[in-house]
Amino acid sequence: MSYPKNFLWGGAIAANQAEGAWDIDGKGESICDHKRGGSLKKQRVFDKVILEDEYYPSHEAVDFYHHYKEDIAMFGEMGFKVFRLSIAWSRIFPNGDETEPNEAGLAFYDKVFDECIKHGIEPLVTLSHFEMPYHLVKEYNGFSDRRVIDFFLNYTTTVMERYKDKVKYWLTFNEINFATMPFGGLTVLGIQNENDEDNMALRFQALHNTFIASAKTVVEGHKINSEFKIGCMLAHMTFYPLTPNPEDMLLVQQWDNLLNNFCGDVQVKGKYPYFMSEYFKDNNIDIVFEESDKELLKEGKVDFYSFSYYSTNCASIDQGREMTMGNLMGGIKNPYLEASEWGWQIDPTGLRYTLNKLYDRYEVPLMVVENGLGAVDVVEEDGSIIDDYRIDYLREHVIAMNEAIEDGVDLFGYTMWGCIDLVSAGTGEMKKRYGFIYVDKDNNGEGTLKRSKKKSFNWYKKVIASNGVDIA
């Protein structure tokens, strides 16, 4: 086993899925605060106006806002070296377009970071994890309006300045490549068109503006503290050709270019890749570049590449195959893989493959900032939770990462997703649990919010203590 000595082991959450306290201490409404709970079969409903009689899972979530001390202490007990969390933009700028920040929001994250530092944990902060202030959606149609770039900059420079001595690692936009698909328009870019129809040209223009916001943040961040390490974050969608038909291979290449390489190239290489010109032409998209945009993208290249990885799928030009689910996007079932209860196919070897592929393309340090198994956990009569399935999943991925490191990949950290149970982003459920720490709360919002350790808690503690050697 060969994990580097300072490998950053840890876990990850996002504000809207964990904090709750959605309207406390001056916080404004964010996009996620408008999403009702759903399930695998029932899509989450988005309400333009929050309704009194509906249940919105983010409003209380798992109340990290009031439990952060206890939760971070448990992360410390597991030996976390890093804790990935997001700052809720609407806690700092409730509407998004104010000039002065909300001090109560800033004070909350000061306390959270101090607690991390107390436990020897390095915070890794996502600046935007599906949490744009809703006011910016209503008034500006999100990033389709370039003024939102300045609002974002005002927010990011405010928090980077404030926490410059407490936080070194930053990510700009969570799963930015989600915006290459229609349903990523609202979630990532804050666009809401009439009749909720997708406007492709507007979406790609808004994505361009988001790239600029990210690049400017990188440039300004490095001015605030030259030691900052600022990364991009993508949901890596790994596809295999279903058959050796060259057309299947070509399809996989085209999807890979659009879904993964486009956003990765812009943020790591600092320029639009050649293949997007043809795609834009075919779809009548004409991206408006302002004079300094090209230069800015070059100057604002990220320091590292981070990504989420849960599963893989197959693709084929042959329609009518059996389909399955996945993060952000499903695909054709792979006969060689098992799937989670939510249909996400489990593929540790795919992680080794993906790490090699990314390192070859970008030659910058990599970090896996999301990975894990969403499963239904059973609390036994004595209160124990025997989540061997989760341990098995994680063990295989820890082995795969190690193999990639042995292949020569520069991988410097791993934050397991949902280290404490939280609200599922995709379905809004509580019962799709990822955590080492169980939270007593159900899909209807009932429960005591009590925290308890699952079997995987001690397993991960051992993994971290042995730097990935003791994985039994």
Q: Give the catalytic positions in this structure.
A: 175, 370
Among candidates 261, 259, 47, 228, which has minimal Cα distance to 127? 228
Show contacts with ligand BG6 in window 271-310 (CB under 6 A). Answer: 308
Cβ closer to ligand BG6: 235 or 242? 235
**How many residues form the binding site for ligand BG6 (CB under 6 A)?**
15
Identified binder of ligand BG6 from the candidate list 327, 340, 443, 456, rule CB under 6 A = 327
Show contacts with ligand BG6 in window 112-171 (CB under 6 A). Answer: none
Residue number with the smallest Cβ distance to ligand BG6: 426
Q: Is there binding between residue 14 and ligand BG6 (CB under 6 A)?
A: yes
Identified binder of ligand BG6 from the candidate list 137, 235, 346, 439, rule CB under 6 A = 235
Q: Is there binding between residue 370 and ligand BG6 (CB under 6 A)?
A: yes
Nearest distance from residue 144's CB to ligand BG6, in Å? Answer: 22
Q: Is there binding between residue 424 and ligand BG6 (CB under 6 A)?
A: yes
Nearest distance from residue 381's CB to ligand BG6, in Å? Answer: 28
Nearest distance from residue 466's CB to ligand BG6, in Å? Answer: 27
What's the token pair of residue 25?
């201490």
Q: Is there binding between residue 425 and ligand BG6 (CB under 6 A)?
A: yes
Nearest distance from residue 99's CB to ligand BG6, in Å? Answer: 30
Cβ closer to ligand BG6: 175 or 377? 175
Show contacts with ligand BG6 in window 427-446 (CB under 6 A). Answer: 427, 432
Identified binder of ligand BG6 from the candidate list 175, 265, 377, 421, rule CB under 6 A = 175
Nearest distance from residue 363's CB to ligand BG6, in Å? Answer: 25
Sign of CA dihedral 42, 44, 49, 50: positive
Nearest distance from residue 87's CB to ligand BG6, in Å? Answer: 14
Residues that bind ligand BG6 in the complex, under the rule CB under 6 A = 14, 17, 174-175, 235, 308, 327, 370, 374, 417, 424-427, 432
